[in-house]
Every structure is written in C-alpha cells, then in structure tokens.
Amino acid sequence: MEDSKIINVETIAEYNKMVNHETLHPLVSVVDFSKSDIICQYTRTFGFYTVFLKDVMCGDMHYGKNNYDYQEGTLVFIAPGQTNGIVNDGSSIRPAGYALLFHPDLIRGTALGKNMKDYSFFSYDVHEALHLSEREREIILDCFSNIKLELEQSIDKHSKSLIVNNIELFLNYCIRFYDRQFVTRDHINQGVIKKFESLLNEYLKSEKPKTLGFPMVNYFAEELNLSANYFGDLIKKELGISAQEFIHNQLIEVAKERIFDPGKSISEVSYDLGFKYPQHFTRLFKNKMGISPSEYKILN
C-alpha cells in the first residue's frame, strides 16, 4: 500500500458511481455490495462518515497504521478524512456485505450532529472493530433496511428527520453492542489495564517526565497499540474513571512521597513530574488533596 496513490472521495454520489450504485439521496446511501461492481485494490479518504458491515473475508483492509483481516459479521467505522483501503493478492474482489454512508451536512444542526463526539468508535482503529453476534447482525440489517426504505420514498419535509433518526438509532445500537464487546473481552481488557499501570509506573520513575513532559493518554495508547479513543473508553468502562484521571491519581501518589525529599523544592518536584509550570502542579495537587503541596508537607 506504500506506493499506492491516495484517492479522495468527497461526495456520496462519487462513491455510488465508483461501485455502480444508484444515488437516491445526495447526502446518504446504503450500499449492498452483492449488487455492486467488483473492487480493485485502493487507498482512499472519504469526505463522509462510513460504516462497513462485512460478511465474509475479502482481503485485508488497511486503516491508518493497522490492518484487519475481516471475519463474518464485523462493523468498521470510518470518520471523514481517515485513510483506508483494501489490499489483497492483486486480483479484483466482490465484497459481501453493506455500507452506510452519510455526509456531515446531513446531520448539521441536528441533535445527532451536536452529539457525534459521543460515538467515539469512529476514531477507533480497524483492529478495534465491532464483532457482531447473529442477533446483533439482524438488528443492524433492520436499521439499514429502514434507512434504505426511507431513501426510496419521495423526498419531503419529513425525510431528513426520519433518515437522521434512523441513523441515530443505528449508532445507539452500536454503543450497546460495543459495551457488550468490552464485557465479553474482559480478560483481554484486564491485561491492558495491568500493562497500562506498569507503563505509567515506569514512566513516573524514569527521566521521561523531564524529557517527554507530563504523561499523556495518547502516549500510553500508542505504547499499547490502541487508538486513543478506544483506550479511553476501555479504561472508563473498566475502572469507572477516565484514563487522564487515573494518570492524575497515580501522579499525585508519587508526588506525596517526593515532596518530603529534603533536597528538592516543590518547584523541582513539579518539574521532575513533567509539569512545565509549578502552579499547574499546585493546582492539581490542591484539587485532589484539598490543600497545597506546601501545606501537605507541613501537616505531615
């Protein structure tokens, strides 16, 4: 994929033309790949939200830095601007499955548009895809069918709200199914939590805070080969707090020990922990402990 040219597909109509699918609405489409043209290897970015429901293996799909070998009943979510593509053995393929495409302009000004950030799985990597049970797959296909049915009606003043509501219903089901997947993969998640705790402890004990700065969520997500959003959602579901809050809590525990070092001032301790400005350290410490580092040192 390194030498392939990246093609930008900005509109729904462009994509439909590419797969020989009729455009029923300029801002949304449901594609049945069994009725589409054969697809060759490609690397593309889309100007719209894309959800692929893949039914069978059809080559490796590359997404960002990672690739994912499709299994039956898998949902992959792609946000506008994300590079993606299919790479196989060089032959053309006819994928089996469906795609839901909707342009940001469709949901602009709607409740869904305002809440799209809640659907963080659009920023997941492809190896963090949603694997469906047979019943879940049926529900997803029902959602696609309802959207397609509305697209086949004559466009009127109700069309937009009905289409958007059905897309929102589909995405809300996806949140439920991801919650289920986090639970069913609990043993894997626990391994991630332990690695995260170990990486954080090593980071705080090393010289990295001085050289790399304050420990950030993105750093640990990359170290664990996870997207920042997936990693953050996993931590929140497993620990009940955000990854950043967990980092803050661990950092304060380390700070509570270091401020008693007679050879270090409060400012030096803050720099050692990665804070650019001592007042930021003092603010965080007071927020967590109710008193400043200096007051804590005196009281103890």
Per-residue pLDDT of 209-218, as tens digits, reads 999 999 999 9
CATH of domain 187-299: 1.10.10.60
Distance CA 117, CA 136 (A): 23
Chain segment 67-85, per-residue pLDDT in tens: 433 345 899 999 998 877 6
Q: Which two tokens stand for residue 31?
A: 């594609």
Average pLDDT, integer, range 57-68: 43
What pLDDT does residue 36 have?
Answer: 78
| CB distance 143 to 173 below 8 Å | yes
Average pLDDT, the chain: 86
Residue 62: pLDDT above 60?
no
Average pLDDT, integer, range 44-64: 71
Q: Strands 6-9 and 42-46, how do they pair?
A: parallel
What pLDDT does residue 85 have?
Answer: 63
| CB distance 140 to 53 below 8 Å | yes
**CA atoms within 13 A of residue 267's CA, in its CB half-sphere:** 1
CA distances for 274 relative to 89, 119, 210, 290, angstroms = 48, 32, 5, 21
% pLDDT > 90, the chain: 66
Residues whose CB falls within 8 Å of the CB of residue 20, separated by 6 or more in sequence, listed in order: 36, 37
Average pLDDT, integer, range 93-114: 89
**CA atoms within 13 A of residue 118's CA, in its CB half-sphere:** 12
* Domain ranges across the chain: 6-184, 187-299
Residue 141: pLDDT above 90?
yes
Chain segment 247-269, per-residue pLDDT in tens: 999 999 999 999 998 888 999 99
Distance CA 163, CA 245 (A): 38
Comparing CA positions, the residue from 182, 172, 181 lying closest to residue 240 is: 182
What pLDDT does residue 252 have?
Answer: 94
Architecture of the domain made up of 6-184:
Sandwich (2.60)
What pLDDT does residue 6 have?
Answer: 77
Residue 16: pLDDT above 50?
yes
Q: What DSSP string describes 102-115?
A: E-HHHHTTSHHHHT
Average pLDDT, integer, range 15-43: 84
Q: Which two tokens stand for residue 246?
A: 């967990």
What pLDDT does residue 99 have?
Answer: 94
What pLDDT does residue 61 have?
Answer: 45
Residues 176, 84, 45, 223: is their CA dihedral positive or negative? Answer: positive
Q: How confident is the model at residue 23 (pLDDT cuts 50, 70, 90)?
A: very high
What pLDDT does residue 126 have?
Answer: 79
| CB distance 221 to 171 below 8 Å | no
What pLDDT does residue 41 have?
Answer: 55
